[in-house]
Amino acid sequence: MSLMVLLPLVLATGGVVHHIYVDRSGVPDLAPFIRFELPTIGKVYDAQGMVLVELAREYRQVVSYEEVPPVLRQAILSAEDKNFFTHSGVDYRALPRVLYKTALSSVGAWWNGKGFRLRLPQGGSTLTQQLVRGYFLRNRWSRENDVTLFRDNLTWRLLSSVVGVPATNKLFRKLEEVRLALWLEEEMSRRFGSREQAKREIFARSASFNYLGNGRYGFAAGSDYYFGKSLSSYTMEDAGKAALLAGITKAPRDYLPVPGDARPLRRRNQILASMARNGYIPADVAKRLQAEPLLVVKATSPVKTQAPAAIHTVFDELRQRGAGRFGVEDFLQGRISVHSTVDQRVQTIVNDALETGLSLYEKRHPEAKGLIQGSVVVLRNADAAILAEAGGRRFYKNRYSRYSDLNRATGSLRQAGSAWKPMVYLAAFRQGLTLDTTVPDEPIAVAMGANHSVKWINNYDNEFKGPIPMRQALAESRNAVAVWITREIGLNRVIGISRELGIRTPLQPYIATALGASEVRLLELAAAYRAMASGILAEPYIIDRVDGASGEVLYEAARNALALNSSHLNLIQEGLRGVVRIPGGTAHSLYGRDFPIAVMGKTGTTSDFRDALFVGSTYGPQGITVAVRIGFDDNRTLGDKETGGRAALPIFREIMLLTYQQKLVGSAPSFPREIEDGIDQYLHPGDPQLEGRGLTALPHHPGEESR
């Protein structure tokens, strides 16, 4: 009878021993582990190679054995596995301690009336076993406390009836952990040619794999987060920090370095004592470091960035350009890095200028403090590269802005107001009108929408000046003239010009579109002005290059710039330069000794002062274009007389002034002499100096006044 009982037990034990020490069937593929292609950190770089943002599913830095400083190696070994370099993956010397804890825990639970169940304690695992558990058995480990057996066979069912399902799952997971740990060390020794090198490779992977809390994986990421310190700078004097880091991995929730919490302090001091006993550090050093309090730096999240709107646009462009080869998830897994066109120096200027402009508005309207919003886009004229982008203020609704927030530069559809009028004038120039064509600034009525109600168009000053030159009408932003021109040449021609210049948003087929009543994105508006300033058609872009994990180029922006097909380009450039130079122009404040940069541009103010805009450029392909919009998210009014010239233009001014003063985009280009002379001739008709250069007053075309 005793033989019949003993024989199955012997056979079962023999089967377990064979499975652990001999059977190598069903082991995982080792190639990914050899490559160790774990999720790391995705980075977006600016045009100067500076990091704009770091994002990841797991914030990890993979290190080699040599990159782990000796004092940290010693702390890890003292905390987790002092015999690591002498065992074969399993430390049998720890077995009596594990069996004792198992018996004590199981009997103690039974004694306390919780019933007899096998309770396997934490601890006793080697670094190799821990790595196997996390890397190869993560799914099984995470589900071992379920009420369902991993494997449904007679042996598992019989055992679970005695010790319970979770304990059965855990026991067999531990046995598989032992088997794979032995296999891993054998296979790594074979692959790397020696046991010593295999041990180093396993240690380095463990040091890069372990979770250290707060989303950080690996000791390099943990050291940077908690201490602001790179591993390469560690010395023996940093043994306290090394011990603190080594102590976290046992239970990150319990041993995170939080000042005032006794648990991580106690764990650190235990590890320091072990390091002294093991001969790694002198006893007096350990004692001195044990007396020190927990000191951690104030962690800053890598998600915080100076360019959240730009990162938002980077993600949009990744989705568009990836074409199945790469995408946002590849970035978050650290498989790709992105080199953007953004210049962080320009971005800083934009952020500060926007905050300054909004603060000035808030001084005029204290009740709006913290509520007013704005957006800015800066484009390079040569190819429409986005140099800076602000989709909102830095701090809004009691927190800093994030890349996932609304990007008002690309995601908000708002009316353009009078900033739309250059499209009307360029379309008119193509139909033969000129800057000196006389146009009527007189009362005019338009049908509003499908109900055919009529609205009489007013100018901002509620006055009409009668017949005036087109350049004056543009400079002074006369609404009645813009509507008259649109009616004369046809709205379809205005819409056609806007499409050619890069406006992609559907436009309302009503004549009020001539006054900017249709909603567009700020980035589109900036692109249109950039095209008029440079004579080059190009789609705005923000990704310059995408690199793979090995540095290979996966994508590079195509420079598909085309010449703008318009022989009348100089007329709109001169007209927009006149908005600045002509004394009655809405942007005349940008012409003076205190602003020595030659710019062209246009203000915009929407109905009931709901939005204030300014969009302007320096001249030609060497210049830049800046677009600014100010308004509330709920579309309430900004207040009486809060025009584009008052609320938005000062922001444009500061951006242009500082960008060129710091020579971030080269020197400010001058306008061609013929453009400046054309304006001079208008301002000073009959000036003999101008006539000496061969210039005469441009003729008016009386016959065009009734077109």
Token pair in block for residue 18 = 């064979």
**Looking at 260-274, 310-324, 390-404, 530-544, which range is the least confident one?**
390-404
Q: Is 626 left (phi over 0), alpha (psi -120 to 50) or beta?
A: beta
- Mean pLDDT throughout 594-610? 96
Q: What pLDDT shows up at residue 170?
A: 75
CA 195-196-198 angle, to 5 degrees, is 60
d(CA 436, CA 394): 45
CA dihedral of 625, 643, 425, 565, whole degrees rounded to 10: 20
In a domain, 661, yes or no: yes
241: pLDDT strictly greater than 60? yes
Report CA 390 to chain centroid distance, whole Å.
12
Confidence at 104, pLDDT banded by 50, 70, 90:
low
Q: Where are the alpha helices (DSSP H) in 502-568?
A: 522-534
Task: Say how many C-beta atoms besides its own lie within 10 A of residue 17's C-beta.
Answer: 11
pLDDT digits (tens, 9 = 90+) for 393-439: 988 776 777 777 889 999 999 999 999 999 999 999 999 999 999 99
In a domain, 84, yes or no: yes
Inter-residue contact 535 to 567 (CB < 8 Å): no
- Mean pLDDT throughout 186-213? 94
Inter-residue contact 470 to 576 (CB < 8 Å): no
Higher pLDDT pick, 14 / 91 = 91
Helix H or strand E encompassing 261: none
695: pLDDT strictly greater than 50? no
Q: What pLDDT shows up at residue 455?
A: 83
Inter-residue contact 247 to 79 (CB < 8 Å): yes
d(CA 224, CA 61): 10
Domain residues for 62? 55-290
In a domain, 549, yes or no: no
Q: Is 523 exposed, middle or buried (0-12, 13-18, 19+ CB in 10 A)?
A: buried
694: pLDDT strictly greater than 50? no
Is 33 in a helix, a strand, or coil? helix
DSSP line for 85-144: TTSSSS-GGGHHHHHHHHHHHHHHHHHTTS-----PPS----HHHHHHHHHTSHHHHHTT
493: pLDDT strictly greater than 60? yes
Q: At what angle do helices 283-290 and 262-277 cross, to 10 degrees?
A: 180
Inter-residue contact 335 to 327 (CB < 8 Å): no
**Looking at 269-283, 387-401, 579-593, which range is the least confident one?**
387-401
d(CA 46, CA 625): 19
- Mean pLDDT throughout 683-700? 58
In a domain, 323, yes or no: no
CB neighbour list of residue 509: distance below 8 Å, 6 or more residues apart: 491, 495
Amino acid at 229: K
DSSP line for 165-210: HHHHHHHHHHHHHHHHHHHHHHHHHHHHSSHHHHHHHHHHHHHHH-
Closest among 493, 528, 486 to 511, alpha carbons compared: 486
- Mean pLDDT throughout 233-240? 95
pLDDT digits (tens, 9 = 90+) for 47-95: 999 999 988 888 888 899 999 999 999 999 999 999 999 999 998 876 6
Q: What pLDDT shows up at residue 706?
A: 26
The tokens 């082991």 sit on which residue? 27
| CATH code: domain of residue 273 | 1.10.3810.10
| CATH code: domain of residue 597 | 3.40.710.10
Question: Is residue 218 located within the same domain as residue 80?
Answer: yes
Q: What pLDDT shows up at residue 25?
A: 79
- Mean pLDDT throughout 276-281? 96
d(CA 581, CA 619): 14
Token pair in block for residue 133 = 């558990």
Closest among 70, 397, 392, 62 to 205, alpha carbons compared: 62
In a domain, 587, yes or no: yes
- DSSP letter at 557 equals -
- Mean pLDDT throughout 261-271? 94
Q: What pLDDT shows up at residue 220?
A: 95
Q: Is 506 exposed, middle or buried (0-12, 13-18, 19+ CB in 10 A)?
A: exposed
Q: How far is CA 538 from CA 90, 314, 446, 586, in A?
A: 63, 18, 34, 28
Question: Is residue 285 located within the same domain as residue 429?
Answer: no
**Which residues are bridge partners to 440 per DSSP?**
467
Q: What pLDDT shows up at residue 660?
A: 98
**Looking at 1-15, 497-511, 561-575, which range is the least confident one?**
1-15
In a domain, 373, yes or no: no
d(CA 262, CA 248): 13
Based on its alpha-carbon atoms, the radius of gyration of the chain, rounded to whole angstroms, reads: 36
Confidence at 561, pLDDT banded by 50, 70, 90:
confident
Q: What pLDDT shows up at residue 106?
A: 56
Report CA 25 to chain centroid distance, whole Å.
45
Q: What pLDDT shows up at residue 298?
A: 66
Phi, psi (deg, nearest 5) at residue 286: -60, -40
d(CA 608, CA 636): 9
The count of structural domains within the chain is 2
Question: Is residue 286 located within the same domain as residue 422?
Answer: no
CA 246-184-220 angle, to 5 degrees, is 30
CB neighbour list of residue 540: distance below 8 Å, 6 or more residues apart: 377, 379, 384, 385, 386, 502, 523, 526, 527
In a domain, 174, yes or no: yes
Domain end, chosen from 244, 259, 290, is at 290
- DSSP letter at 505 equals S
d(CA 406, CA 245): 38
Q: What pLDDT shows up at residue 585?
A: 96
- Mean pLDDT throughout 247-259? 90
Q: Where are the alpha helices (DSSP H) in 502-627?
A: 522-534, 569-581
- DSSP letter at 648 equals I
Confidence at 576, pLDDT banded by 50, 70, 90:
very high
Question: Is residue 74 located within the same domain as residue 216?
Answer: yes
Tell me the range of 102-106, 400-404, 645-649 where mean pLDDT is highest. 645-649
Q: What pLDDT shows up at residue 2?
A: 52
Domain end, chosen from 269, 290, 311, is at 290
Inter-residue contact 427 to 496 (CB < 8 Å): yes
- DSSP letter at 541 equals B
Phi, psi (deg, nearest 5) at residue 421: -60, -30
Phi, psi (deg, nearest 5) at residue 185: -65, -40
CB neighbour list of residue 557: distance below 8 Å, 6 or more residues apart: 341, 541, 543, 544, 545
Task: Say how many C-beta atoms besides its own lie within 10 A of residue 494's C-beta.
Answer: 25
Q: What pLDDT shows up at residue 380?
A: 98
Inter-residue contact 428 to 497 (CB < 8 Å): no
Q: What pLDDT shows up at residue 408?
A: 95
Domain end, chosen from 290, 323, 356, is at 290
Q: How far is CA 599 from CA 115, 576, 646, 671, 674, in A?
A: 84, 9, 17, 8, 15
Token pair in block for residue 297 = 């730096």
pLDDT digits (tens, 9 = 90+) for 17-43: 766 777 777 788 888 888 887 778 899
705: pLDDT strictly greater than 70? no
In a domain, 550, yes or no: no
Average pLDDT across the chain, whole number: 87
300: pLDDT strictly greater than 80? no
Token pair in block for residue 531 = 């095209």
* The pairing of beta strand 543-548 with beta strand 600-605: unpaired
